[in-house]
Amino acid sequence: MKILIAVGSKEYSGPTLRVGMKVSHAFKASTTIVDVGEKVSSFNTKVVGLAQDRMESWDFSRPGVDVLEWAFEFLAEKKFIEPKAIEAGFPKNTLVDTGGNRSEVYLKGTVSDEVSLILRNGEIISELRDEVQSHQYDVTIIGGSKKRRMAHDLIQYIDSSIFIVNNYNPDQTYKLLLAVDDSVGTSKAVRYGARVAQAFNIDVDILTISKTEQFGEEYKNAANRASKYLRRCGIKNQNIYKVGNPSEVIKNIAGDNHIIVMGTSTRSPLKKFFKGSKPLKVMENCQCPILIVK
Amino acid sequence: MLLPTPDGLSLEGYRIIIIVITALMLIVTEPIPLPAIALYILISEVYLGIGSANGIAKSFMNDAVFFIMGSLMLAVAIIKQGWDTRIALGIIKITGNKTANIAFGFTAISAILSSFIGEHTVAAIMLPIGMTLIHFTSENDKKVQNLSAVLLFSIAYGCLVGSIGTPSGGGRNVIMIDYLRSSNLSISYIDWMLLVYPLVLIQIPIVSWILIKNFPPEYNQLDSGVRKLVVQVAKSAELTGRNSVAAFIFLLVFLGWIFFSETVGLGTIALTGVLMYLVGGFVKWEDLSKNTHWGVILLFGSTISLGANIKSTGAAEWLAGSVINIIGPILNTLPFLGDLLVTIMTTVMANVLSSSATVAVLGPITMNIGNDPMHMGLVTAIASAFGYFTAVAAPACTIVYSSGMVKAKDFLKVGWKMGLVSIFLLVIYANTYWLLFS
């Protein structure tokens, strides 16, 4: 399993990194931390590269390396990486160009094999999409953003599951809200939900929503299967059945003290573009962490 | 394409205008990579009957493309020589410790050097010097925000101001010389300097003054920063024989530009310099190849082809005529208005596209405005250097912005003032000083 954690700044990326590493350990996944810096004008990429090489010869790191260094020190402080890596410290001047707007801080074999630190430059969605596609990540973890269409772009263009760390408060007691229905993606969402619940050692509310008063047999079976799976994993859970608009119901129940886990939409891309999707509406309306499982 | 061809415009001219508009939209929005836009331009010209395949291929490659290729490769070769430490010592010895003097020194050195070796080379060399001085003054970036802006913008704007000073200052200058030559007008290296270099010298103190006024530095003296910089630079290796030979090669290139550019072309001389650096082992082909943006060279070649075909199809004359029809009566009473219009139009376009692409496309059109193609050509080439407004407008600005020590909004904050001053200065300069030569 491979997890990608996108960080952007030292001031705001702490919660994303904390949640990302907890989830990564729960999945026993290899972790890559990526910082996507400002896009460089296509006319000038090579001359900027030359200038940055010159900067490095004067012991100046490229913009973005300081964020990766902060991420490394954060992991060391919270003991997310092993002691020998912490002792070795962040390696200076080891940025290796791996091609295609991508550079890697060379950690493997010298400091740590557990995490990779990557620097990219460009438009964030485009760079994350390229990173996910070329390195086949299973989950992409990113902080919340006020940018319009960010939620839509993430769901539309990133092929992996997406975990958006919105307003995460480490002092808050959370529960997991697992939205289930009879769709194909529910079983994977349940498995992922179980791992996240184990990572945070929290209980699970299994939520089944119907637009009418009738709950079909498939819905009830899905909810029961989920409950059985979570019980086997030793996770306390309860079933909740609600009637209403799914995104509104999820928003009301989640509040600010749940981590939402749900499957991706089964609509075609064209329908998703014109009519939206439930995960998209939930992402846009809810202010708590949410994991969309693809 | 389905609309009727406008009166007075040939079918080929109409089609080339459509290619120009679509190409400009693609360059600005970048939905496809830049080299793909170059291919689009070239194949569109063939498919739409602008010229034959061989004819379009011929228009793609000329001395201007040689020069752009050569100057990008010379930049790699020169930067690898590590002359920045020598330049740093030289600046500090002349300017002393006062911040205002150092900023003026940065602007002047950047301008003078970039007028001969190109803005991107000089910005890449000067940037670490500026960053080191800032870092040695204070390691807390928040305490030196204005100082960072003053010193780094001195480098960026100094490079822009200087790049118009000689033909070798930028690819846009060589493109314009090529257009003038195709209209049977020639201008030598020295003539260009005589006409334009005083404007460079006038703008240097103005740049410095505007920057200090807009970003009052936190420190009026940089004693500690200068002292540490001198110590750091003193640690670098002594000047070797190889360094001297590398400098001598560049001197030969420079002399070649002055004395032989009219016979063999600026581009040929630039490539000769690159060959000498390669043969002498001063730079490896792998470094040249890796650091030269071949896709951009392809794009410049295709925009030059566009410009040549805008002229040959009559589209340039038609467009210029359309502009004159609108403002003709005013032009007769206020002759400098043509200069103002061309300057503003070129400045706007250069801040959106690159300066070379702007001159490549606009040059054939602006040369048909008014009665003096040489005058308008020079105005267009100079105005295309006014890329002060955004971080992406010019390589020097992009390089300085890539340091992470200035913000994008700072460019707009000071750029519009610098732009306004440059535009008015150019119009006055072109209608006073140049009269001495006409």
Q: Does A45 touch chain B (CB under 8 A)?
A: yes
Number of domains in chain A: 2
What's the CA gap between B404 and A63, in Å, rounded? Answer: 6
- Give the orientation angle of helix B294-312 with respect to helix B355-366, to 10 degrees: 10
Shortest CB distance from B292 goes to which of A43, A46, A51? A46
What chain A residue is nearest to B75 in terms of C-alpha separation? A47
Q: How many residues does chain B have?
A: 438
The predicted model gives A244-271 an average pLDDT of 84
Question: What sign does the CA torsion over A60, A61, A63, A68 have?
Answer: negative
Domain boundary residue, one of A165, A198, A216? A165
Based on the domain organization, do A67 and A186 belong to the same domain? Answer: no
Q: Does A100 touch chain B (CB under 8 A)?
A: no
| Residue A170 within any structural domain of the chain | no
Reported as a pLDDT band with limits 50, 70 and 90, residue A266 is low
DSSP string covering A210-273: ESSS---HHHHHHHHHHHHHHHHTT--EEEEEEES-HHHHHHHHHTTSEEEEEEPP-S-HHHHH
What's the CA gap between A88 and A93, in Å, rounded? Answer: 14
pLDDT for position B147 = 95
Q: Do B72 and A46 count as a contact with CB atoms less than 8 A apart?
A: yes
Based on the domain organization, do A235 and A288 belong to the same domain? Answer: yes
**What is chain B's pLDDT, residue by residue, as a tens digit (438 residues)?**
777 778 888 889 999 999 999 999 998 888 898 899 999 999 999 999 999 999 999 988 889 999 999 999 998 888 888 888 788 878 888 888 899 999 999 999 999 999 998 898 999 999 999 999 999 998 888 899 999 999 999 999 999 999 999 999 999 999 999 999 888 898 999 999 999 999 999 999 999 999 999 999 999 999 888 888 888 877 766 667 888 899 899 999 999 999 998 899 999 999 999 999 999 999 999 999 988 989 989 999 999 999 999 989 999 989 888 888 877 777 667 778 889 999 999 999 999 888 888 999 899 999 988 889 999 999 999 999 999 998 888 999 999 999 989 998 999 999 999 999 999 999 999 999 998 887
What's the CA gap between A115 and A4, in Å, rounded? Answer: 10
Q: Which tens digit of pLDDT belongs to each residue from A135-185? A: 999 999 998 877 767 777 888 889 999 999 988 988 889 999 999 988 888
Based on the domain organization, do A124 and A260 belong to the same domain? Answer: no
| CATH number of the domain enclosing A89 | 3.40.50.620
Based on the domain organization, do A138 and A201 belong to the same domain? Answer: no
Q: What is the mean pLDDT of chain A?
A: 86
| CATH number of the domain enclosing A238 | 3.40.50.12370
* The two three-digit tokens of residue A185, written as one number: 């993606």
pLDDT for position B199 = 97
Based on the domain organization, do A114 and A258 belong to the same domain? Answer: no
What are B's interface residues with A at a Cβ cutoff of 8 A? 30, 33-34, 72, 75-76, 79, 82, 84, 120, 123-125, 127-128, 131-132, 135, 291-293, 295-296, 354, 392, 395, 398-399, 401-404
Q: In this structure, how many other beta carbons lie within 10 angstroms of the beta carbon of residue B10?
A: 13
pLDDT for position A85 = 65
Shortest CB distance from B404 goes to which of A42, A45, A63? A63
What's the CA gap between B324 and B316, in Å, rounded? Answer: 12
Q: Is the pLDDT of residue A273 over 70?
A: no
| Residue A89 within any structural domain of the chain | yes
| Residue A251 within any structural domain of the chain | yes
Based on the domain organization, do A41 and A157 belong to the same domain? Answer: yes
| Mutation site for A-interface testing, chosen from B132, B155, B233, B399 by largest number of A Cβ within 10 Å | B399
Based on the domain organization, do A222 and A203 belong to the same domain? Answer: yes
C-alpha distance from A124 to closest chain B C-alpha (Å): 15
CB contacts of A42 in chain B (<8 Å) are: 30, 33-34, 295-296
Based on the domain organization, do A206 and A125 belong to the same domain? Answer: no
Q: Does A268 touch chain B (CB under 8 A)?
A: no
CB contacts of B398 in chain A (<8 Å) are: 40-41, 43-44, 47-48
| Residue A53 within any structural domain of the chain | yes
| Mutation site for B-interface testing, chosen from A38, A44, A58 by largest number of B Cβ within 10 Å | A44
Shortest CB distance from A54 goes to which of B34, B124, B135? B124
Domain boundary residue, one of A132, A165, A198? A165
The predicted model gives A39-56 an average pLDDT of 86
Q: How many Å separate Cα B13 from the centre of its chain? A: 28
C-alpha distance from A247 to closest chain B C-alpha (Å): 34
Given the DSSP bridges, would you call strands A102-105 and A95-97 parallel, antiparallel or unpaired? antiparallel
Q: Does A99 touch chain B (CB under 8 A)?
A: no
- Give the orientation angle of helix A186-200 with respect to helix A217-232, to 10 degrees: 30
The predicted model gives A51-61 an average pLDDT of 86
pLDDT for position A285 = 81
Q: Which tens digit of pLDDT belongs to each residue from A196-206? A: 999 999 999 99
What's the CA gap between A23 and B409, in Å, rounded? Answer: 38
Q: Give the N- to C-terminal CA distance of chain B in Å, as an integer.
A: 43
CB contact at 8 A, B83 and B239: no
| Residue A117 within any structural domain of the chain | yes
Shortest CB distance from B124 goes to which of A45, A51, A60? A51
Q: Which tens digit of pLDDT belongs to each residue from A67-113? A: 999 999 898 888 888 766 666 677 776 788 888 788 998 876 666 66
Q: Do B135 and A60 count as a contact with CB atoms less than 8 A apart?
A: yes
Strand ranges inside A45-98, DSSP E: 95-97
pLDDT for position B102 = 93
| Residue A93 within any structural domain of the chain | yes
What chain B residue is nearest to A97 in terms of C-alpha separation? B290
Q: Do A47 and B125 count as a contact with CB atoms less than 8 A apart?
A: no
Based on the domain organization, do A226 and A140 belong to the same domain? Answer: no
Domain boundary residue, one of A108, A132, A165? A165
Based on the domain organization, do A181 and A100 belong to the same domain? Answer: no
Name the residue type at position A180. V
| Residue A147 within any structural domain of the chain | yes
Shortest CB distance from A58 goes to which of B34, B76, B132? B132
| Residue A38 within any structural domain of the chain | yes
> Percentage of residues in chain A with pLDDT exceeding 90?
41
Q: Is the pLDDT of residue A114 over 80?
A: no
pLDDT for position A268 = 66
Please choose, from the candidates B412, B407, B328, the residue with its C-alpha nearest in 3D space to the C-alpha of residue B149.
B407
pLDDT for position A10 = 85
Shortest CB distance from B128 goes to which of A43, A46, A60? A60
Q: Do A50 and B33 count as a contact with CB atoms less than 8 A apart?
A: no
Question: Residue A211 belongs to what domain range?
Answer: 175-293
Based on the domain organization, do A145 and A232 belong to the same domain? Answer: no
pLDDT for position A178 = 95
What's the CA gap between A38 and B239, in Å, rounded? Answer: 37
Based on the domain organization, do A185 and A280 belong to the same domain? Answer: yes
> Percentage of residues in chain A with pLDDT exceeding 70?
91
